[in-house]
Amino acid sequence: RGAQVLFSSDVSVSAAVNPTADGIQIVSNAEQAAKIVLFSGKNPARVFLDGKELNATSFSFNRGDNTVSLNIPVGGHEIKIVW
């Protein structure tokens, strides 16, 4: 996709990303708290971290590049972005 960012973080983070029909599932592991940015392609209806729905102020959507940004704590986490 050229210069399109698909995943980035401000510290080292391992991630496995699985696109689904209704969104994206991510399994991540961070040795430090991290801010991650994920290409979603569209504005999410809901975002979950470890099964808990995040409120709208806990993540942001950038319409310019269709990415979702959120902070994750140290450790392993499951993130789900739903359309």
Q: 53 with 16: CB under 8 angstroms?
A: no
Q: Is 66 left (phi over 0), alpha (psi -120 to 50) or beta?
A: left
Beta-bridge partners for 72: 34
E-strand stretches of the chain: 7-9, 13-20, 23-30, 34-39, 46-49, 52-53, 59-62, 67-72, 75-82
Q: 66 with 39: CB under 8 angstroms?
A: yes
pLDDT tens-digit map of 11-51: 999 999 999 999 999 999 999 999 999 999 999 999 999 99
Is the whole-model pTM more than 0.85? Answer: yes
